[in-house]
Amino acid sequence: MLGARRGFLGGLAVLVLLALLGGSADADRLSDKRAEATRVQSELDQMDTDLAKAIEAYDAAQTRLDATEAAIRENELELTITRKNLAIAQSDLTSQLVADYRSGSPDTIGVICECAMRPTKTSCGMLSVSMT
């Protein structure tokens, strides 16, 4: 019986050893999966950081674009007003030159120099168009 017991204990030891080795293989696979999960999570975190930076850059660019478009609209309005003022000034100058010619004092250069030397837009009959 002693021999049977030794055989049984030897078999049991082999089974325990195999179980431990098998458990070790499962532990290695679990450890590998955890390492992979950690690596993937790190990649996701980096992608999230990169996305946040890209979103901030886009928002800043959009803000600059909006400001630029607003400035363009304002400049277009000012250009329209300036063109209207120019047309009025040209008309007034033409009228003044014709009136001077008809009255017998065609001093065209004098009129132009006088207008050029006056600092305000209202000189020589030029009118200013308001933005409202």
The pLDDT assigned to 102 comes to 83
Would you state the pLDDT for residue 130?
Answer: 40
Each of the 132 residues of the chain gets a pLDDT tens digit; together they read 545 555 555 555 555 555 555 556 677 889 999 999 999 999 999 999 999 999 999 999 999 999 999 999 999 999 999 999 999 999 998 888 888 878 877 666 666 667 666 655 554 544 444 434
Comparing C-alpha atoms, which of 89, 74, 82 is closest to residue 124? 89
